[in-house]
């Protein structure tokens, strides 16, 4: 990502920190990529993955991500937007934009796998359709997929993926 000052910010997930704590990490360069700041992780509980970034009208980096910080068991996920507290600070606050948590550990209709009997019909796919975009108002528009809808095919019903949209100030 490149902001209006030509500052480069790669936004990625870090699957190497721990087996069950995938973090979103950010680094920045003020000299077109010649040198980089130390990577900074969004300091959130649980897993975060599939980040997408945009700069708002104030020059703050906004990151949309799938997020398990709201579930102590680290199973259910939501979609959150992290907002940089000031342009270039790499310090963030987060807000949940999804209104329903999804549980990928049980009941999936389309991509189900039962590898562990404790998690019957767990999903093997959590969508690849997520994004955020900066709005002229300074907020962001976000869209993501989750498992809140029921899908039936034949005699079996379960959770089906669908796309959802929200704005965040």
Q: SS3 letters for the chain?
A: CECCCCCECCEEEECCCCCCCCEEEECCECCCCCCCCCCEECCCCCCEEEEEEEECCCCCEEEEEEECCCCCCCCCEEEEEEEECCCCCCCEEEEECCCCCECCCCCECCCEECCCCCCCCEECCCCCCCEEEECCCCCEEEEEEEEEEEEEECCEEEEEEEEEEEEEC
Residue 148, domain member (yes or no): yes
The answer to whether residue 1 is domain-embedded is no
pLDDT tier, 13 (very low <50, low <70, confident <90, very high otherwise) = low
Question: Could you tell me the residue range of the domain that residue 130 belongs to?
Answer: 11-168
The pLDDT of residue 123: 82
Q: For the chain, give the percent of residues with pLDDT over 70.
A: 87
Structure pTM? 0.83
Residue 23: which pLDDT band, with cuts at 50, 70 and 90? confident
Looking at the structure of the chain, the number of domains it has is 1
The answer to the question of residue 3 being in a domain is: no
Region 120-135 average pLDDT = 85
Average pLDDT over residues 72-90: 93
């Amino acid at each position: 990502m490149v902001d209006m000052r030509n500052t480069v910010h790669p936004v990625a997930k870090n699957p190497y920190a721990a087996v069950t704590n995938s973090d979103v990490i950010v680094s920045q360069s003020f000299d077109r990529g010649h040198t980089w700041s130390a990577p900074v992780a969004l300091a959130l509980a649980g897993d975060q993955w599939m980040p997408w970034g945009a700069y708002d009208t104030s020059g703050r980096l906004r990151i949309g991500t799938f997020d398990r910080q709201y579930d102590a068991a680290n199973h259910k996920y939501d979609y959150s937007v992290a907002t940089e507290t000031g342009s270039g600070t790499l310090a963030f606050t987060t807000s949940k934009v999804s209104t329903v948590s999804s549980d990928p550990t049980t009941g999936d209709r389309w991509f189900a796998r039962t590898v562990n009997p404790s998690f019957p019909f767990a999903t093997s796919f959590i969508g690849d359709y997520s994004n955020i975009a900066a709005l002229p108002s300074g907020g962001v528009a976000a869209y993501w997929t989750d498992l809140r809808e029921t899908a039936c095919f034949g005699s079996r019903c379960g959770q089906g993926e669908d796309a959802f949209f929200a704005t965040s100030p």
